[in-house]
Chains A and B, each alone.
Chain A
Amino acid sequence: MPSLRATAKQSRAAWHFGLQRRSAPRNDGGFVPDSGFTPVGAAWKGLLVPRSLGVLLLAAAIAQPSAQAADPPPENRHSGYAFMGPSLRAMQDDDMANPASLWLQDGETLWRQPAGTAERSCADCHGDATASMRGVAARYPAFDARNDRPINLEQRINRCRTTRQQAAALHFESHELLALTAYVARQSRGLPIAIKDTPALHPFVEMGRRLFYERQGQLNLSCAQCHEANAGRSLGGSTIPEAHPTGYPLYRLEWQSLGSLQRRLRNCMAGARAAPYAYGAEAFVDLELYLMWRANGMPVETPAVRP
């Protein structure tokens, strides 16, 4: 049966962007029980309505995309922070106890350190990062006219390195790139995520959304099946968060290191027994963009701590 949940989400996005979906409605995974009662929309989780009423609501949503069909309102979204215990929260909140501070310290050093044949440091162009980089990370991934597609913060930093500093690009997940990214993103801590709603980004958000709802891997799972349909419940000993990437790069206890969002996504894909995309792959950036767009308005926590 066509899923009302998927359709509600589609019209949600249509409302946000003021455009209609181009692709056909998609089944988001068949979690909807065939009982004559149909849950409508993730924001209404737990609320059951008779199917006939659901159809009416659906018709209304198609005819006139309303606020009801919008993304879950901010109070219904939770950062992974909300699912952590008090000791982990304390670890994130105290800069001295947060191991990511070690990367921030290195990031600050790298910011002032000349690199490449241009012998130029980040600070030579951008000055004091606390002022110039404030709010920047909250806007990434952002549309890049040169590539004619969005790039993420790591790629933006490497762009500066290769073009302005004339230095070699830093490897993804290298200590240096993580340190610089964390240092730049730290300057946005507390500011709301603000992915720009520009037409140029729409196809890529749409692509990321498609990836989020697409089943993949030997376990045949979509991101949404865990992170929307079962968010807040347990997977083994861990609580499944809602997949709002508010604190990247973050320190993960399991990694005993700082890591990027793409590293986290690769973990998830491997968990679903799918072949992870390569670091920096276009599909990853699209997915990153969609997740950040989905978290629009939530405060940046970088560098967060997660189990």
Chain B
Amino acid sequence: MTRPLIKVPQTAKRGEIIEIKTLISHPMETGYRTGLNGLTLPRDIIQRFVCIYNGTEIFSAAFSPAIAANPFLSFFTVAAESGTILFQWRGDNGFSVTETADITVL
């Protein structure tokens, strides 16, 4: 239901270092906890995040069960050209969310 929150500057100067922030709703269930019925809760985590800037992968992250729920990421890149930045989260149980943001480089 919840869409991820993404912060990318709408415009940037060519060559400028920009900060990108993402926040996504996810339980990040570790697979080590027991539920109320005494059975182990199956693992349900995001496994991989990639950020693609006009077709080039500029950042990726491998997630582990030790990462907290609703993971927040912040990273930097150089504003090279105008275009689209694509964000993708993939995880257990077929979890897959893709979002895009546009950036204009002046």
A residues neighboring B (CB under 8 Å) = 96-97, 99, 101-102, 105-106, 175, 253, 256-257
Contacts and interface: CB of A to CB of B under 8 A. Distances in A.
A105 B7 contact: no
Given A96-B5, A96-B7, A102 B72 contact: no
Contact of A99 (B3, B70, B74): B70
Contact of B2 (A97, A102, A256, A257): A102
Nearest to B24: A102
A99 B2 CA distance: 12
B61 interface: no
A88 to B, nearest CB: 13
Contact of B68 (A96, A105, A175, A256): A256
Q: Main SS of chain A's interface residues? A: mixed
Given A105-B2, A106-B1, A253 B68 contact: yes
B25 interface: yes
Given A97-B72, A97-B74, 11 more contacts: A96-B7, A96-B21, A99-B23, A99-B69, A102-B2, A102-B5, A102-B24, A102-B70, A256-B28, A256-B69, A256-B70
26 contacts: A96-B5, A96-B7, A96-B23, A96-B72, A97-B21, A97-B23, A97-B72, A97-B74, A99-B23, A99-B70, A99-B72, A101-B5, A102-B2, A102-B5, A102-B23, A102-B24, A102-B25, A102-B70, A105-B2, A105-B3, A106-B1, A175-B1, A253-B68, A256-B28, A256-B70, A257-B69
A97 B23 CA distance: 7
Interface residues of B, number: 16
A253 B68 CA distance: 9
Interface in B18-37: 21, 23-25, 27-28
Contacts of A253: 68
A96 B69 CA distance: 15
Q: For A175, A256, A257, which residue has the most chain B Cβ atoms within 10 angstroms?
A: A256
A101 B23 contact: yes
A106 B1 CA distance: 8
B75 to A, nearest CB: 13
